[in-house]
Structure 1
């Protein structure tokens, strides 16, 4: 099902809108300014979701961020919150798979060794994407966050990809 058209505020209408990658491409790349920059962000998202689907057997991804708006500003990122269908499947991941999953998530306040450094934020895909994991029961919090519009008090929609 294609994503709805942009509103007069250049966002998706309020709500969660089911989509596949071709729907995301059509609305967020083809039907928006700064196509070259959006192509790069879309490629990051596409690869990201491909890796996630190999690690998490089934689930949903809510897609937000500046790529999901049609403003005159150059989009700089894609925001994704992952909602696994079976939280237990994450607990059963082996060491390498668990490490790969952690590498797909945005980390804040990271201390690294050799060389020792403090990083405010570590993001997947070279900083083009913020990836978050929704714990069971936190869906309403994430939905409210993803629905926050461009101006105070406004509401926007977001895309939902299922695998």
Structure 2
């Protein structure tokens, strides 16, 4: 995380906005580690670009080491897991409403789960045609 901070916050345009996104990322990954014992996270989105444009958010794809433990989750642990991923087309029962999208950390980031075997698809999508990489965080 120190490398991400140095390269994408401290030494980048729009440092104040990037501080907020980095704090969201740090808190998010801390919450992830409490629910998913071990894994990797790839970080993408406008946050990892060093342009003069203000980054509007960041994307995180989670790759748990043990998918079996996720499948066995029930109750509060399972509820917490769903709170860590972006959800689309959400229907709320009380009060009744429909939301196009629900994102973790107040909408500052999008969280995704990478299913086993889909790593190459995510890598190709996020590498921007092989011209840009992306940070990886291991916990």
Query: Structure 2: which 5+ runs fail to align?
Result: none
Aligned counterpart in structure 2 of residue 91 of structure 1, from 60, 67, 71: 71
Deviating beyond 4 angstroms after TM superposition, the runs of 4 or more aligned structure 1 residues are none
Aligned-CA RMSD value: 1.1
> C-alpha separation between the residues in 2 aligned to 1:98 and 1:47?
19
For the Cα contact (< 8 Å) 2:124–2:130, is it kept in 1? no
Task: Report what 1:101 is aligned to.
Answer: 81
TM-score, normalised by the number of residues in structure 1: 0.82
Give TM-score, length-normalised by structure 2: 0.96
- State the aligned residue count: 139
Task: Give yes or no for the alignment of 1:60 onto 2:45.
Answer: no
Question: Are 2:87 and 1:111 equivalent residues in the alignment?
Answer: no
Equivalent-residue separation in structure 2 for 1:22 and 1:129 (angstroms): 19
More helix by share: 2
Which structure 2 residues correspond to residues 1-163 of structure 1 after superposition, within 5 A? 21-148=1-128, 155-163=131-139
Please list every run of 5 or more consecutive structure 1 residues that lacks an aligned counterpart in the other structure: 1-20
